[in-house]
A and B are shown apart, each in its own frame.
Chain A
């Protein structure tokens, strides 16, 4: 886990990590949220909706932004204030996601970072685009 101070971080600073989405992750997300929607849980239903398989919960992908701020950028001193996210493309079980965050702005008065974050799949397609406001304690 990174432990970056506000002063150490500069505009343009980039961090990234990779995660492969598994059935187990889907099961755990279901257990936590109780979101039984068939698009995420029923293979046949998902195919009838034109998907190649069960669709990964968007909020499961979004949860990786917590890891981005809390482990990588800034890491330990992270305090997430705000996240605005767009789900650009569906994610499927077995997809390998690369989460990347870049510091776009710094605001000294409150030690704030404005991050631009993207999540891409193994084909390089952007599946999520997000803006994050993160305080550095």
Chain B
């Protein structure tokens, strides 16, 4: 899948988790851009992505991520 294709799926997950269909999500988006993006919702995001893409993250990988773009890259690397 292309970066854009994965990003679109990730956008959908963000909109579900935060229950906001108008949520703007770009590669540069990070937790300071979304008010409700706290540790609990971060867990919900990671678990939803594991389910959606049928893959498993480990804590070190996830803790290094700084924005959505890096999350997309990590997903692509795991799908490869």
Contact = CB atoms under 8 A, between A and B. Distances in A.
Interface of A: 81-82, 107-110, 112
Contacts, number: 21
A109 B40 contact: no
A81 B40 CA distance: 7
A108 B47 CA distance: 10
Contacts of B20: none
A112 B56 contact: no
Q: Chain B binding site: helix, strand, loop or mixed by DSSP?
A: helix
Contacts of B46: 109-110
B24 interface: no
A133 to B, nearest CB: 8
Contacts of B59: 109-110
A118 to B, nearest CB: 23
B62 interface: yes
Contacts of A82: 40
Contacts of A110: 43, 46-47, 59
Contact of A112 (B43, B58, B62): B43
